[in-house]
Structures are given as structure tokens and as C-alpha cells.
Amino acid sequence: MESLPIVRLQGVTKRFDDVCAVDSLDLDIYQGEFLTLLGPSGCGKTTVLRLIAGLETLSAGEISMNGSRLNGTPPNKRNVNTVFQSYALFPHMTVFENIAFGLRLKQSDKQAIRHQVSEALDLVKLSGLENRRPHQLSGGQQQRVAMARAIVNKPQVLLLDEPLSALDYRLRQEMEIELKRVHRQLGITFVFVTHDQEEAISMSDRIAVMNEGRVEQIGTPIKIYEEPENMFVARFVGEINVFDGHVVNVNNGSAVVDIHGQLFPVQNRKKAGTGDKVRVLLRPEDIQVTRDADKNGGPALSGKVDEVIYKGKTVDLVISLDAGETINVTQFFNEDQEDLVYGEGERVHVDWLYGWEVIL
């Protein structure tokens, strides 16, 4: 993405009394992308959104849009719109009036307004419900009205503050697909806030993982999941197993790490030196489990199966290693492997393929 960012945040800081919600944050948002701010509650992600919308004032720093400063601009003069977590539909207005609200403030051509509202309703697949009141709609429909009410104003950037968190699981998955479709059809920039990493991974072009008012890592979902840059990102996004070890040998791009006396070759992305203490991180699905140690030949850690959780397409194992750690392993079924079902208490060995690990 070489193009100029549509929204640029530089040194953005927001303090509420003494609490620093956003701490000198830099972020570039590009034209047409689906950017997700992901983080635990209280990490400042919603505040960032509200700062972009103009609903909070900056304590320090600068926000610019299309190259011009936005700092003092009130929300009603910004070319961004927000979909709120609680939808906040106007209860005394019909669906039509809700969606037309923004348009009516700016123009008076009734014919044009009607046309644009029905276009927006088409986009969110709610045609025919114009005259309903918000309390007559289901949660998912209210969500769609909130979306239509924002996008009908043709903002350059649409801000979404956990819009799916109030929906049940089924509906949420449906809306995820809908959101992606609307994003594709409109071609505008979406900035999406969530604490749900699955949601973030499945929808975003880029994810910014936030913690305590700062961005911990920003990148594509694949990068974030497979190459976390620090422990926070590794732990927050998905499940992960952590092994402590130290480097015994370094050789070009790879290194040998001693974990509980076993020597594992790893990819040395961190450029660790001999003797350094490192942590080796592995996703549950990247760990291999075997019944006998020398089947794969290489180094392996031994332990016993504590729990077997059958999940349909996968089997999750909780294994306590002889060295003391407890790890989670996910095994996928495939047709020529029918001996995946381990018994509780069974002794096993675990290892992984070279390069599937991350070291920090």
C-alpha cells in the first residue's frame, strides 16, 4: 500500500482525568482497507474510534484526513460516520426516518432522499421495512438499520464500534459475511473495533492489536497470527504454548534451542545469539503428537495425556509434560489416520516441524 493514508494519527494521546486511554499512538489508515483495532476491553480502541469521529477531543497529537488537520473539527463536519455498539436507533422515528436523518440535515430534495434511503436499505437487505419502528425489529435488523443510517451519508471512512457483539453466535457469523460484502460493494474504508480475535482475523485486511493505549503490532491477519512480535500479541490472538529455553548454537538463519534438555532446531527470526534465553511459541495445531519417541527421529518432549476433548473436526488434547508444563494440542482428523483418539493417561511425545515455531 504505497498510496497516501486517508486518515493519519500522529502521537495521538487521550487522557481522562489521570487515566491515559490512548498513549502517543501512530496509525495510518489507507483508502479502501478494512482495518481492525483489536484488543481487550479498556485498551483504548473505542477511544481511538471516538477521536477519529470527533466525539472526544485530543489531549495531544494530531489526526489528519486527506492531508488536512482535523483536530478542532466537530463531528458534524467530518466526513466519517459511526455505527455504535448499542445501535442507538432513534426510537421515535421509523426505519425510513432514522436513515434519512443525516440526509435531511444537509439537503431538502425529498425525491433524492427517498432514492438514497431505498438504495441504502437495498444494500443492507431491509427493503420493505421502511415504516417499522426500531422496537419492532430484531437485533440483527436493528444492526442493519444502524449500518444503513451511517452509510447513506456516503462517508469516506466508516467507523464500527463492536457492532456485532450484541448478536448471538449464528447471527454474528452471518453479519460478518454481510459486513464484508458491504465493504466490497462500497469500496470505502472501514475501521472496525472488536475484542473478538476470530472476528478480527476473518474480516480484516489489516489488524492493529492494541494494549494499554498503544499498538502492539499491526499487520495482516496471517502475520499477526503466525508471526506475533511479542508475548502480548501471541497470547491475545489465539491460543499458544510457550516453552522457555536457551540458544546453544547459531548457524545462519537457524539456531538450536535447548528446551528441557532436548535440542530443537528453530528458525532464528529474532537473531538471537548463543546463550540467549528465548521463548519458543507454538500454536496448538502446529504441535505433533506421537505414541513412540523415535517415530519422527528428532528431538521430542515426553508427557502424558491429561484430557481428551473431542470436537468433531478436531481433537483437543491437554498434555502435561514431564518437565512440568501443561500444553494444549489440536489434532485434525484426516482419513488415513484413525489412531488420533488417545486415552487419558496415555504416554505421548510431542514435537513440531522446523520453522512452524516462533521465537521471542
Residue ranges in contact with another protein by CB under 8 A:
50, 53, 55, 74-76, 80-82, 84-86, 88, 90-92, 101-102, 105-106, 149-150, 153
334: helix, coil or strand? strand
Which residue number, 78 or 214, has a Cβ lying nearer to another protein? Answer: 78
Q: Which three cell numbers stand for residue 161?
A: 464500534
We find the least distance from the C-beta atom of residue 73 to another protein, in angstroms, to be: 12
Which residue number, 71 or 326, has a Cβ lying nearer to another protein? Answer: 71
We find the least distance from the C-beta atom of residue 161 to another protein, in angstroms, to be: 9
We find the least distance from the C-beta atom of residue 75 to another protein, in angstroms, to be: 5
Secondary structure element (H or E) that encloses residue 169, with its range = helix 169-186
We find the least distance from the C-beta atom of residue 136 to another protein, in angstroms, to be: 13
We find the least distance from the C-beta atom of residue 316 to another protein, in angstroms, to be: 39
Which residue number, 9 or 151, has a Cβ lying nearer to another protein? Answer: 151
- Identify residue 93 by its one-letter amino acid code: M
Which residue number, 92 or 313, has a Cβ lying nearer to another protein? Answer: 92
- Chain-centroid distance, C-alpha 190: 13
Are 25 and 215 a contacting pair, CB within 8 Å? yes
Which residue number, 14 or 283, has a Cβ lying nearer to another protein? Answer: 14
We find the least distance from the C-beta atom of residue 74 to another protein, in angstroms, to be: 7
Which residue number, 132 or 270, has a Cβ lying nearer to another protein? Answer: 132
Phi, psi angle pair for 224, to nearest 5°: -65, -40
- Identify residue 165 by its one-letter amino acid code: S
We find the least distance from the C-beta atom of residue 44 to another protein, in angstroms, to be: 17
We find the least distance from the C-beta atom of residue 128 to another protein, in angstroms, to be: 23
Which residue number, 152 or 272, has a Cβ lying nearer to another protein? Answer: 152
Which residue number, 105 or 341, has a Cβ lying nearer to another protein? Answer: 105
Are 320 and 304 a contacting pair, CB within 8 Å? yes
| 183 CB-side CA count, 13 A | 23
Distance, CA of 155 to CA of 157 (rounded, Å)? 5
Are 178 and 145 a contacting pair, CB within 8 Å? no
Vertex 15: Cα angle to 65 and 159 (nearest 5):
35
The secondary structure of 192-251 as a DSSP string is: EEES-HHHHHHH-SEEEEEETTEEEEEE-HHHHHHS-SSHHHHHHSS--EEEEEEEEEEE
Which residue number, 98 or 217, has a Cβ lying nearer to another protein? Answer: 98
We find the least distance from the C-beta atom of residue 101 to another protein, in angstroms, to be: 5
We find the least distance from the C-beta atom of residue 105 to another protein, in angstroms, to be: 5
Buried residues in 322-349 as b, exposed as e (16+ CB within 10 A): eeebebbbbbeeeeeeeeeebeeeeebb
The secondary structure of 255-289 as a DSSP string is: EEEEETTEEEEEE-TT-PPTT-EEEEEE-GGGEEE
Residue 59 exposed, middle or buried by CB count within 10 Å (0-12, 13-18, 19+): middle
Q: Which three cell numbers stand for residue 73?
A: 473539527
Which residue number, 101 or 356, has a Cβ lying nearer to another protein? Answer: 101
